[in-house]
Amino acid sequence: MNLIFGENGQGKTNVLEAIWLFCGAKSFRQAKDKEMLMFNKNVCKNFCVFESENIQKNSAIIIDEKRKAEFLNKPVRPSSLAKDFHTVVFSPQDLNLISGSGEKRRRFLNLAISSITPKYIEYLREYNRILLQRNTLLKQISEKKSSVGLLEPFEIKMAEVSQKIVYYRSKYCEKLEKEAQKLYFGISNNKEKLTLEYISDFNKNTTKEEIFLSLKNSRNNDILNKNTSIGPKKDDILVLINEKSAKSYGSQGQKRSAALCLKLAEAEIMKNAVNENPVALLDDCLSELDINRQHFILNHLTDWQVFLTACDPANINILKSGTVFKIEKGELCTYT
């Protein structure tokens, strides 16, 4: 456990952001690359030494006109770093997993599944491509510029790829609930139960033939509305605490706890998939948590290397073991 504390605006999140970049993804704050450069500078370089598969490795991220990467001192595509450096991040934006729209939870599922099943990305791209084509055709049919019969080949392919997406999402949600439930029991001191429901027009046992028939039966309505009305584009996850909607009835502390457990469950699933503990980056995760929940986060995440940021120096007194850093004006130093 590495606890980084300091006042607002001193650079705590920047430290986590710098580590996160080595998984090959963009900033979890969704900042543009150029916004990560120091003011009045036009280039930066991050260098990381880490251990993976019991071997010491090194990577570098260079940002100037565009992002570049090096692995073992050789140029590589930035996205290729993901196979060696595994990490999961929680930031305040992840509260949208509970309070936000279904789009936020679909994005979470898509990124989490893609991190351990690369071919899933291709299914998503194919689905989005076909969805756009079908919607364009629906509009043309509505305007009497095309024929209904042209829909079938798109629907056959859409049914095939939809079945794969729903299958992977459904299976992932089963694993996610299992891991998140254990974590939530711990963080709530066994007083509350978290459950997940995968909401979809289909399920993991639905065949592509059944999905095709559903698309065919929805044609009249879809032509009228010029839009595809069913399929993975509507999927969602219902998060429940003690069988009640966390979004509607959860306190701020419960929502933060639930979102945090979903992200830590993602890390646990990743660990099982790659047979290696990911690095956990937890940005401002202790806010709005009571003392018992803070104690659990600081002292019971023993399987991973954790970097956690906090503003309150009182958190130091809760930490039983680990390293504490203080950051001030962008300068990081060990705190004793």
Cα separation of 121 and 82, whole Å? 14
Q: How many domains does the chain have?
A: 2
Distance CA 201, CA 237 (A): 12
Q: pLDDT confidence of 73, banded at 50, 70, 90?
A: very high
Backbone dihedral region of 39: left (phi > 0), alpha (psi from -120 to 50 degrees) or beta? Answer: beta
pLDDT band of residue 158 (cuts 50, 70, 90) is very high
> 170-204 pLDDT, tens per residue?
999 999 999 999 999 999 999 999 999 999 999 99
Residue 25, pLDDT score: 86
- CA dist list (Å): 228 to 107, 131, 175, 219: 19, 7, 30, 8
* pLDDT (tens digit per residue) in 110-144: 999 998 898 999 999 999 999 999 999 999 999 99
The pLDDT, as a whole number, for residue 178 is 97
Q: Do residue 66 and residue 112 come from a single domain?
A: no
User: Do 106 and 244 have their domain in common?
Assistant: yes
Smallest CA-to-CA distance from 31 within 72, 75, 60, 63 is with 63
The DSSP output letter for 278 is: P
Do 194 and 154 lie in one domain? The reply is yes
Do 148 and 10 share a domain, yes or no?
no
What pLDDT digit, counting tens, does each position of 273-297 carry?
A: 989 889 999 999 998 899 999 999 9
Residues 34 and 133 in one domain: no
Q: For 239-253, what is each residue's pLDDT tens digit?
A: 999 999 999 999 999
Mean pLDDT of the chain, nearest integer: 93
Mean pLDDT of 18-23: 93
Task: Give the domain CATH number at 73.
Answer: 3.40.50.300
- Quick one: 171 and 217 in the same domain? yes
